[in-house]
Amino acid sequence: MAQAGRRPGQTETREEILEAARRRFAEQGYDGATVRAIAADAGVNAALLHHFFGTKQQLFAASMNLPVDPGELVPRILEGPEAEIGERLVRAFLGLWEAPDGRAPFLAMIRSATTNEQVATMMRQFLERAVLARVAEARGVPKVRVAGIAAQMIGFALLRYVIGLPPLVNASEEEIVGMLAPVAQYYLTPGTEKVRLPMHQEGGLARHWSETTG
Amino acid sequence: MAQAGRRPGQTETREEILEAARRRFAEQGYDGATVRAIAADAGVNAALLHHFFGTKQQLFAASMNLPVDPGELVPRILEGPEAEIGERLVRAFLGLWEAPDGRAPFLAMIRSATTNEQVATMMRQFLERAVLARVAEARGVPKVRVAGIAAQMIGFALLRYVIGLPPLVNASEEEIVGMLAPVAQYYLTPGTEKVRLPMHQEGGLARHWSETTG
């Protein structure tokens, strides 16, 4: 299966499947589009589509030209010492954006999502299924907390890579990790959602963190 | 000055100034466009322009249809108890977005900034002059820290109001304040930039916070 070889027409078939996927995802959203319908549109059977692209989520990542499938990235972030999960998340995210071929597809996705309701729907459903639900369950935190760190990272990418805000553009990778990792750690640590404001009352967040991260 | 009255032609003059401002800001950026040049384009003198719109920053806010001038908002966030600055920032930001006429202009600005290099330049320069520099100086933190909380809030607005991510859409204002205020407090508290990872070493962020917000 790994060595499928290159028969004539295989590249075209792949391209036709990706075309059909882009069309279906745009028209019906990530949830509404089925692998079966995409295969039928491309004139192939579902088994062949699966052979080429794997799961629906992997097909989506390929059709959007994402350089990485979140299905692979998320477990890499979750595995490892608890106290360093924030740092792993920020480093993985930076790795994607700083890679030469990594930036363009994400930029395209943010641009389309802010100008096109269909793309926004796709992105919303994909983020929820492929990222929020999975990370929330693995970490034992509410989905809204995972959305909080997603917001931090997407806003950071927008200001550093799209708007080009000088203090963020000029910051080194290590400075960025030092600044963002504690925020990621906060969102992904169970118990921090019970913090009450103002923060200094009864030790506030400081106390919760020292209790939960020891 | 507050009671300037409404002479015939005043509305047109205001509109011509705003038109000229939008054109100059788009062509030359926020820094490059001068109030004098905008006044000349609109066929008025600089004193009349100032009478109508105040400072360059206020003129920019008016020309972008922003419902609020950051020059007024920023001091309101900075004034008050230290330990509640994060909460004040999040509440002020939510107040803008939740207001019926507040959302559309910001959405338009995010959309244009991600698709148009000129708008990105304007937004970058305006954010730096009107927000980052001022807040950084008032709080005694590096500008990159203010950029960090700006990224969090812009990403939050993108996911809640543009993409419509369900866990953020369904969260109440109080839940959002409870979640984001500690992050704002972290960015705007001097000393937290010295936190070293992993966080649990020597008390990490928890210790720094208890020392600084005590």
The reply to whether residue B181 touches residue A193, judged by beta carbons under 8 angstroms, is no
Cβ–Cβ below 8 Å for A182 and B186: yes
Closest approach of B92 to chain A, Cα-based (Å) = 16
Count of CB atoms situated within 10 Å of the CB of B70: 20
User: Between A110, A114, A159, which is nearest B147 by CB?
Assistant: A159
Which residues touch A154 (CB under 8 Å, ≥6 apart)?
A: A110, B155, B158, B159
Task: Indicate if the pLDDT at residue A193 is higher than 70.
Answer: no
Comparing A144-153, B80-89, B122-131, the range with the smallest average pLDDT is: B122-131
Tell me the one-letter amino acid at B27: E
Residue of B122, B129, B169, B199 for testing the chain A interface, max A β-carbons within 10 Å: B199
Compute the average pLDDT of residues B203-214. Answer: 42
Return the closest-CA partner of residue A202 out of B180, B90, B83.
Answer: B83
Q: Is A158 exposed, middle or buried (0-12, 13-18, 19+ CB in 10 A)?
A: buried
Mean pLDDT for chain B?
83
Test mutation, B165, B202, B213, chain A, max A CBs within 10 A: B165
What ipTM did this prediction achieve?
A: 0.79
pLDDT in tens, A138-166: 999 999 999 999 999 999 998 998 889 99
Distance from C-alpha of B214 to C-alpha of B210, rounded to nearest angstrom: 5
Phi and psi dihedrals of B11, rounded to 5? -60, -40
CA-nearest residue of chain B to A167? B144
Mean pLDDT of chain A: 83
Residue of B nearest to A204 (CA): B210
**Cβ separation of B197 and A181 shorter than 8 Å?**
yes
Mean pLDDT confidence for A201-212 = 41
pTM: 0.80
Task: Identify all chain A residues contacting B132, using CB atoms and an 8 Å cutoff.
Answer: 165, 167
Return the closest-CA partner of residue B214 out of B92, B81, B94. Answer: B81
d(CA A192, CA B170): 19
Q: How far apart are the C-alpha atoms of A112 and B93, rounded to whole Å?
A: 25
Q: What is the pLDDT of residue B6?
A: 53
Q: Does the pLDDT value for residue B205 go beyond 60?
A: no
